[in-house]
């Protein structure tokens, strides 16, 4: 697979390129001259028995000598590098599956073998972020038909581990999203586990939202668990809530999500494959899918929701999953917190039965938990929502949540942001409409989810009467710069919250 190689000595440059593996060479390095290496070439980097594939960057200054090579921080860790170690650089033969990607860019249909080649090469880290972005873009919008979504889902499952739970019924849930603050998972999983259900919940980090479930859970506990640790937590407590990227289930999904996040793309076909590949790989047998509909949610119309419902059901069946869908209101944020810590505070209020807890979040969680209980054991839970409410009121769900967190490593209280800014109404009237996308953008500009205490505390649900000067929402941030950045955006918008 590889041609001639060149041996150089490692120098630690301390350059962070996030998850992208990058190798740095001086322009007058013999390897550049003899092998014709140029910037952005993909090259194999070998150190001992470890090998990665990295993108080449060329250095013009004296930071490197001609016989030295630098690596980005992620690449350095991947090959367990030490200063002065010898490494070999090799030409990488063209990645054949890029032919399939180019075919898809020209709107041709791909079969299961094509997706196997692409997903396998992405898993083996043969694709640069640019090449992954090409694949993500080629599949974005409505460019994947039903058969392609099935094939992509199966390919993603095959690239990683698949858990088995001794034939037990495993119930899980997923919300399609688009609603800021809609963090029902910690509540739902705790209720179902307290009722005796088995919920090995693997969750994603945010793609285009201010917080993913993994981001929110990381506020209070450890989410980067090994596969063996995750299984031990489930065996002990009946449930876990962990980051899927840490346990090797459908591992390519997390690579794709990383690029989707940078592009702010959340394709329907890839979203279905992402969700169902993770569920199947985690050993789930029954999955409840919540599809919110709203003008500024991901799903805008009932027609789109019905199509999505059909796709989830058919693709789920193709990988051995039974799917139940819930169509819900997606017109506005859920709860008050938007951002990891703020959302977790909402969840804790609900779990503790705090009278001041956001009732819309509580009710939505009970609806989903009820559907999961009925799915899990329809003979025992004939009215799942009622059973879920009884478990929540009894305090058993809160006790279970704390035990799950402690089993995962710890339980800590959510923190608070250093800087806050109230956004007040300039007029009196009734809140008519809230733009989910814009309020989510405010939270992201304030620093969420990277700063877990950043975000928006939302106080203006639709139908509420507000007076001029009332607080509509409060921006939370860890830095004055990000707070000002978010406020500049707020000042540039006129219709984040519509009051009539």
pLDDT tens digit sequence for 328-368: 999 999 999 999 999 999 999 999 999 999 999 999 999 99
**Is a pLDDT exceeding 50 seen at residue 436?**
yes
pLDDT at 2: 42
Q: Which pLDDT score, from 0 to 100, does residue 3 have?
A: 41
Predicted local confidence at residue 1, as pLDDT = 40
Residue 185 and residue 350: Cα distance in Å, rounded?
A: 12
Question: 4: pLDDT confidence band, cut at 50, 70 and 90?
Answer: very low
Asked if pLDDT for residue 65 goes beyond 90, the answer is: no
54 touches 75 (CB < 8 A): yes
Question: Can you point out the beta strands (E) in 377-441?
Answer: 419-424, 429-434
Identify the pLDDT of residue 317: 97
Q: How far apart are CA 19 and CA 393, in angstroms?
A: 43
The pLDDT of residue 142 is 85
Q: Quick one: tokens of 462? A: 């639709």
Provide the 8-state DSSP code for 43.
E
Is the CA virtual torsion 308, 313, 316, 321 positive or negative? positive
Over residues 5-16, the pLDDT tens digits come to 478 899 999 999
Let me know: does 205 contact 211? Beta carbons within 8 Å. no
**Cα–Cα distance between 86 and 83 in angstroms, integer?**
9
What structural domains and CATH numbers belong to the chain?
7-91 (2.40.40.20), 97-159 (1.20.970.10), 171-247+261-408 (3.40.1030.10), 419-499 (3.90.1170.30)
First vs last Cα of the chain: how many Å apart? 66
Average pLDDT over residues 437-465: 96
> Whole-prediction pTM value?
0.86
Helix (H, G, I), strand (E, B) or coil at 54: strand
Beta strands in 109-250 (DSSP E): 171-175, 199-203, 239-243
Q: Identify how many contiguous H helices and E strands the chain contains and give both numbers.
A: 18, 18
Dump the DSSP string for 57-116: EEE-STTS-TTEEEE-HHHHHHTT--TT-EEEEEEEPP-TTHHHHHHHHTT----HHHHH
Mean pLDDT of the chain: 92
Nearest partner of 261 among 133, 438, 440, judged by Cα: 133
Q: Which tokens belong to 386? A: 């009622």
Q: Which two tokens stand for residue 304?
A: 């789109």
* Residue 107 CB partners (closer than 8 Å, separation 6+): 143
- Is the pLDDT assigned to residue 154 strictly greater than 80? yes
What is the β-pairing status of strands 68-71 and 171-175? unpaired
pLDDT-above-90 percentage for the chain? 72
Closest residue by Cα to residue 331 from 206, 464, 208, 461:
461
Q: Which of 334, 335, 331 is nearest to 293 (CA)?
A: 331
DSSP H or E run through 362: helix 359-376
Question: 392: which 2 tokens?
Answer: 């929540």
472-497 confidence digits (pLDDT tens): 999 999 999 999 999 999 999 988 99
Locate tokens 């586990």: which residue? 193
Query: What's the pLDDT tens digit per position in 413-433?
Result: 999 999 999 999 999 999 999
27-55 mean pLDDT:
84
Q: How far apart are alpha carbons 363 and 486 in whole angstroms? A: 31
At residue 38, the pLDDT reads 82
Give the tens place of pLDDT for each residue, 22-39: 999 988 887 777 777 888
Identify the pLDDT of residue 445.
Answer: 97
215, 266, 290, 360: the active-site residue: 266
Q: What is the pLDDT of residue 223?
A: 96
Query: What element of type H or E holds 252?
Result: helix 251-263
Instruction: Return the pLDDT at 67.
Output: 86
Q: Are 315 and 306 in contact (CB under 8 A)?
A: no
Checking if the pLDDT of 384 tops 90, the result is: yes
Q: How far apart (Å, rounded) are the C-alpha atoms in residues 314 and 172?
A: 17
Q: Which of 32-41, 229-238, 247-256, 262-271 has the highest mean pLDDT?
A: 229-238
Active site residue 80: no
d(Cα 242, Cα 224) in Å, to the nearest integer? 7
> CA 92, CA 37: separation in Å to the nearest integer?
11
Q: Is the pLDDT of residue 113 over 60?
A: yes
Task: Give the Cα separation of 293 and 185 in Å (integer).
Answer: 19
């Amino acid at each position: 697979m590889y041609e001639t190689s060149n041996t150089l000595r490692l120098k630690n440059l301390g350059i962070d390129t996030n998850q992208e593996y990058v190798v740095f060479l001086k322009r007058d390095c013999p390897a550049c001259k003899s092998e014709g290496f140029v910037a952005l070439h993909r090259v194999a980097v070998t150190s001992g028995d470890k090998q990665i594939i990295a993108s080449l960057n060329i250095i013009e200054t004296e930071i490197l000598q001609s016989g030295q090579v630098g690596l980005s921080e992620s690449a350095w860790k991947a090959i367990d590098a030490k200063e002065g170690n010898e490494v070999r650089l090799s030409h990488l033969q063209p990645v054949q599956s890029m032919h399939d990607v180019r075919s898809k860019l020209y709107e041709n249909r791909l079969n299961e073998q094509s997706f196997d080649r692409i997903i396998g090469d992405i898993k083996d880290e043969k694709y640069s972020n640019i090449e992954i972005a090409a694949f993500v873009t080629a599949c974005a919008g409505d460019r994947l038909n039903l058969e392609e979504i099935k094939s992509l889902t199966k390919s993603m499952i095959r690239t990683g581990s698949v858990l088995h739970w001794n034939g037990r019924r495993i119930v899980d849930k997923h919300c399609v999203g688009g609603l800021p603050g809609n963090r029902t998972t910690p509540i739902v999983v705790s209720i179902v586990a307290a009722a005796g259900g088995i919920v090995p919940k693997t969750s994603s980090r945010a793609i285009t939202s201010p917080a993913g479930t993994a981001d929110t859970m990381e506020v209070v506990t450890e989410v980067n668990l090994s596969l063996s640790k995750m299984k031990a937590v489930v065996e002990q407590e009946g449930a876990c809530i962990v980051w899927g990227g840490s346990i090797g289930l459908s591992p390519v999904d997390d690579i794709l999500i990383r690029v989707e996040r940078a592009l702010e793309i959340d394709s329907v076909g890839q979203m279905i494959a992402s969700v169902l590949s993770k569920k199947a790989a985690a050993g789930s047998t029954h999955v409840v899918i919540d599809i919110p509909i709203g003008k500024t949610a991901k799903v805008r119309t009932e027609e789109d929701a019905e199509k999505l419902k059909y796709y989830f059901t058919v693709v789920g069946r193709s990988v051995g999953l039974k799917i139940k869908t819930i169509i819900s209101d997606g017109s506005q944020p859920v709860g008050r917190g938007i951002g990891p810590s703020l959302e977790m505070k909402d969840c804790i209020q609900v779990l503790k039965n705090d009278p001041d807890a956001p009732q819309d979040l509580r009710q939505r969680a009970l609806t989903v938990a009820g559907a999961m209980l009925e799915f899990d054991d329809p003979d025992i839970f004939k009215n799942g929502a009622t059973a879920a409410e009884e478990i929540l009121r009894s305090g058993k769900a809160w006790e279970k949540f704390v035990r799950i967190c402690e089993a995962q490593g710890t339980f800590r209280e959510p923190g608070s942001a250093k800087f806050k800014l109230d956004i007040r109404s300039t007029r009196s009237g009734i809140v008519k409409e809230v733009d989910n996308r814009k309020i989510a953008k405010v939270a992201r500009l304030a620093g969420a989810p990277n700063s877990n205490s950043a975000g928006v505390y939302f106080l203006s649900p639709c139908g509420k009467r507000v007076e001029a000067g009332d607080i509509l929402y409060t921006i939370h941030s860890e830095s004055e710069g990000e707070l000002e950045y978010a406020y500049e955006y707020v000042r540039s918008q006129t219709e984040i919250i519509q009051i009539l």
